[in-house]
Chains A and B, each alone.
Chain A
Amino acid sequence: MIFPEFVGGVHLPSLIPYIALAGMVGFILTILPGLIWIERVVIALMQDRSGPNRVGPRGLLQSTADVVKLFFKEDMIPQSADIKIYYLAPFLTVMCAFSAGAVLPLQTLTFRLANGDLQTFPLTVGDVNIGVLYILAISSLQVYGIVLAGWSSNNKYSLLGGLRASAQLISYELSMGLAILCVVMFAGTCQLDKIVDAQSGLPFGIPDGHTFIHEIFKGSIFSWFWLGTGIVPVIIYTIAMIAETNRSPFDLPEAESELIAGFHTEYSSMKFAMFFTAEYVSMLIVSGLNAALFWGGSLPPLNVLPFTLIPGFLWFIIKVMGGIFFFTWLRATYPRLRYDALMNLGWKRMLPLGLVWLFLLAVVSLGRGPAKSADNIPEKPVTASQQVQTNPNAVAHR
């Protein structure tokens, strides 16, 4: 589908960030009750229970009832809490969870420019060149909300939960970074939409051509980076993303059998709901990053008719929902890890494996030459002195 550049004097490509922002926030907020419902239904199925079936058809309105309940619950504040930080913590957590979604590419839009050329724009809030680093930075800030919640409640269980959360996040961020680095090295860019673009080629190094086979497999499931980087990075990333979102089997910060509810023991009413929201939003965001990095983002799994009819953003959402299903599946399947087992897995298994794999992939990518991405067009290096000289104003002011 090709859009015109101007409609009624409005420059459409410059509206993309606002559309993406509205779409992203709207999607996250409307899907949240659905996510909780999906989780309950799926877990009930896996554990052979009935699940929610009282409020609304098939229990669909159960989440709405929960939200209403949370709104009207009494908001309790512990007597010796550090009030300011106690209030700040849930806001920080939600804010970091939402803002990480700003660079996820939902779809590629094609515009016909005024001079007749075609140009593609990614449907993202911010198409920044540090896309992957931005998500890493925001997710590294997410620790603060949890740690401060644990500390400011002035409760030993909360403090233990907060400390566990920070130790866990720091440990698994490294492996996550290494897995992402494998993809960045193969794609040759940090920009998420270009990483998706880099997956739209032919798999297994098939030479270019225009046969039927080429058409089907161009940008298909086999040319995405889960296979392209050799499966190990996607496994490391998936484990690390579960640990980063504090979900079962890595939910030690809120282990209810040891720590009551961990870092949010002392939070009630809407402040508890905000932690709950943040957890689900960050599940969506890390699944979205997984989809964009390893599972082809908005690309259909095979380039043939029934798949190509579905627009790109729907493919992206389907992949994100696949990630959510995986989260739920794991929660119903695995018991919680012991704390030392968690640290051993992070530092002694995944980190060395990630380092060795990164090294191997570096050797491979040396062998096959520079990555063929749009970011890699040979160009003269830009230096500070050259920049100033090419700038007539700067010279005039000397």
Chain B
Amino acid sequence: MATVIAFWVLAILSVVASIAMVVTKNPVRSALALVGTFICVAAFYILLSAQFIAAVQVIVYAGAIMVLFLFVIMLLNLGSPGALRERGSLQPIIATGLGICFLIALLLSGSLLSLPLPAGVRPAEYEPLGTVRAIGINLYDPNQPWLFPFEATSILLLVAVIGAIIMAKRKV
């Protein structure tokens, strides 16, 4: 019961925050609304007993990426919010159309009409899956198939980091 209440409160909060992010004209407030959405998503992960991913979501998205966004927005000093408005752009119309298509697809797949979790199955029963320990074992155990993809991804990320440093360095 508590889970259901928490779900609906979070659902309303996250939808309101994401709509506010799109609608707000002030870039700083828009960024803040996006942070709110990220935190709501982290809370959803906790409801799904994926605690590790929830913590990482907050650390990486809300704590690092959005702080950089805010940093840039504040440094740019974009002036009056009115000057930022796009005119004669097709983007809002296309975006609305695609969004409606996505909603219809969701409805058709039954995700909105019948919740995917069967009655009687409580998220708490998946609890060991989302802990740091379970994720660590799944990632690093040689018997699991995830060790190679994980290492490949980490090398890709390392290459991206070195590339970013080299590109930034050239201009100095």
Contact = CB atoms under 8 A, between A and B. Distances in A.
Contacts of A393: 118, 120-121
A159 B144 CA distance: 50
A383 B55 contact: no
Contacts of A391: 121, 125
A384 B129 contact: yes
A148 B75 CA distance: 13
Given A147-B67, A162-B74, A375 B133 contact: yes
Given A140-B59, A140-B62, A162-B74, A130 B51 contact: yes
Given A141-B62, A166-B70, A134 B55 contact: yes
Interface residues of B, number: 39
A397 B70 contact: no
A140 B141 contact: no
A151 B74 contact: yes
A130 B52 contact: yes
Contact of A144 (B67, B119, B126): B67
B160 interface: no
B124 to A, nearest CB: 11
Contacts of B129: 382, 384, 387
Interface in B96-155: 118-121, 125-126, 128-129, 131-134, 137-138, 141, 143-144
A2 interface: no
A170 interface: yes
Contact of B32 (A85, A136, A170, A190): A85
B51 A381 contact: no
Contacts, number: 106
A387 B128 contact: yes
Contacts of B133: 129, 189, 375
Contact of A167 (B39, B71, B125): B71
Nearest to B26: A82
B129 to A, nearest CB: 6
Nearest to B138: A381
B149 to A, nearest CB: 15
B64 interface: yes
Contacts of A169: 67
B30 to A, nearest CB: 12
B67 A382 contact: no
Interface in A347-398: 375, 381-384, 387, 391, 393-394, 396-397
Given A133-B59, A387-B129, A381 B71 contact: no
Given A137-B63, A144-B35, A397 B118 contact: yes
Contacts of B55: 130, 133-134, 136-137
A136 B55 CA distance: 8
A143 interface: yes
B41 interface: no
B16 to A, nearest CB: 15
B132 A129 contact: yes
Nearest to A379: B137
B56 interface: yes
A25 B56 CA distance: 26
Contacts of B35: 144
A382 B118 contact: no
Contacts of A173: 63
B125 A381 contact: no
B121 A140 contact: no
A221 B71 CA distance: 43
A170 B28 CA distance: 19
Interface of B: 26, 28-29, 32, 35, 39, 51-52, 54-56, 58-59, 62-64, 67-68, 70-71, 74-75, 118-121, 125-126, 128-129, 131-134, 137-138, 141, 143-144
Given A383-B144, A397-B121, 5 more contacts: A85-B29, A137-B62, A162-B74, A396-B120, A397-B120
